[in-house]
Amino acid sequence: MDNKIKLRNAGLRPTKQRIIIADILLNGFNRHFTAENLQNEISISGNKMSIATVYNCLKKFKNAGLIKQVESYTDTAIFDTNNISHHHFLNEETGELIDINNNEINLVKLPDIPKGFINSGVDVIIKLKKNN
Amino acid sequence: MDNKIKLRNAGLRPTKQRIIIADILLNGFNRHFTAENLQNEISISGNKMSIATVYNCLKKFKNAGLIKQVESYTDTAIFDTNNISHHHFLNEETGELIDINNNEINLVKLPDIPKGFINSGVDVIIKLKKNN
DNA sequence: TTTTTACTTTAAAATGGTTCTAAACTACTT
DNA sequence: AAGTAGTTTAGAACCATTTTAAAGTAAAAA
């Protein structure tokens, strides 16, 4: 269970609930998910967690940099276990996201950043429509 | 009032309410706004409209291609009167969006589009953080 | 250890944006 | 002028998320 250590290193107290979530999310496989998706996976793993706790944990994990929240065109927050900078295809009909590796996109020209700000990340979203 | 004609050309019955909204939105100045923003502007213009109607009209305007809905990292839908393909700066602290003209960004390499789909638009979002 | 303290979890209520309902209304057609 | 199909509305419903406040737990102090 070195997820206990991972949590501690991230500055999070390793509670029973956070360890359950870390065991599900931080296993090396990347995925996109909603709070409800995660609660279902927790149930499947034989555990039970209040939705408030799921949201609390997701916020903590996100602020600690263990997961990211990604853009969404729907009204449900989508999280991503892939912390490496990358981009997304968006299926406009379903809202589903598919990862695009950074090296598959080349942005050669960027606009001047407004005064007083710095660029804190660039997201490219390629919207997809069914080809009929 | 050629907004009446604009609405008809877009396939929308030009009701009193839709004309009020068209007069506010389709005046050549581009802006980002929420449903609530728009309802406030309607009040300021001396009119009164139910929030349900505001939402109904925004949906119709959007499907007719008169306005766009843009990505949002907050839980409130943001609309844009700028129909020309363009990108955005996102102020991460406030959620505010600033337009970026298409010619200020140059994407020279794009990934292969998944089979069965076509590219229906690319959004680039440059996130901004205060520079301290 | 035991005690203390600060943080965490929880069910349930509250919140806030958005959509639905169903009745009244209005633009357009006949 | 009458019919009909689409539209507006207030209010209820919905649903994702956050808050509340009380009970529980991990870590620190004694």
Mean pLDDT of chain A: 93
Task: Tell whether B65 and B17 lie within a shared domain.
Answer: yes
Give domain status of residue B79, yes or no.
no
Residue B1 above 60 pLDDT? Answer: no
Task: Tell whether A122 and A72 lie within a shared domain.
Answer: no
Task: Tell whether A71 and A41 lie within a shared domain.
Answer: yes
- Region A108-123: mean pLDDT is 95
Task: Tell whether B21 and B61 lie within a shared domain.
Answer: yes
| Strand C contacted by B13 CB (< 7 A) | yes
For residue B105, the chain A residues in CB contact (below 8 A) are 107, 109-111
Give domain status of residue B78, yes or no.
no
Strands B117-130 vs B86-91: parallel, antiparallel or unpaired: parallel
CA→C1' distance for A57 and D20 (Å): 18
Task: Tell whether B9 and B65 lie within a shared domain.
Answer: yes
Residue A71 above 90 pLDDT? Answer: no
CATH code of B27's domain: 1.10.10.10
Find residue B70's DSSP bridge partners: B78
Q: What is the pLDDT of residues B14-38, one digit of tens each?
A: 999 999 999 999 988 889 999 999 9
Rounded distance, CA B22 to CA B1, Å? 10
Task: Tell whether A50 and A89 lie within a shared domain.
Answer: no
Closest partner CB to B117 (pick from A107, A117, A129): A129
Task: Tell whether A51 and A73 lie within a shared domain.
Answer: yes
**Inter-residue contact A127 to A90 (CB < 8 Å):** yes
Give domain status of residue B77, yes or no.
no
Give domain status of residue B112, yes or no.
yes
Q: What is the pLDDT of residues B64-79, one digit of tens each?
A: 999 999 988 788 999 9
User: Quick one: pLDDT band at residue B132, thresholds 50, 70, 90?
Assistant: confident
Q: What is the pLDDT of residues A91-111, one digit of tens each?
A: 888 888 999 999 999 999 999
Task: Tell whether A60 and A124 lie within a shared domain.
Answer: no
Closest residue (CA to C1') to nucleotide C20 in the complex: B52
Give domain status of residue B55, yes or no.
yes
Distances B119 to A126, A128, B42 between C-alpha atoms, Å: 7, 5, 36
Do A122 and B121 make contact, defined as CB atoms within 8 angstroms?
no
Task: Tell whether A73 and A90 lie within a shared domain.
Answer: no
Task: Tell whether A54 and A19 lie within a shared domain.
Answer: yes
Per DSSP (E only), the strands in chain B are: 32-33, 68-70, 78-80, 86-91, 97-101, 106-109, 117-130
Number of domains in chain B: 2
Task: Tell whether A55 and A17 lie within a shared domain.
Answer: yes
Rounded distance, CA B91 to CA A19, Å? 33
Nearest Cα of chain A lies from the Cα of B89 at a distance, in angstroms, of 9
Q: Which domain holds residue A122?
A: 84-128
- Of B118, B77, B60, B127, nearest to B98 (Cα)? B127
Strands B86-91 vs A87-91: parallel, antiparallel or unpaired: unpaired
Mean pLDDT of chain B: 93
Rounded distance, CA B101 to CA B87, Å? 6
- Region A61-72: mean pLDDT is 92
Give domain status of residue B43, yes or no.
yes
Task: Tell whether B8 and B66 lie within a shared domain.
Answer: yes
- Residue A1 has a pLDDT of 55
Q: What is the pLDDT of residues A11-40, one digit of tens each?
A: 999 999 999 999 999 988 889 999 999 999
Residue A78 above 70 pLDDT? Answer: yes
Give domain status of residue B75, yes or no.
no
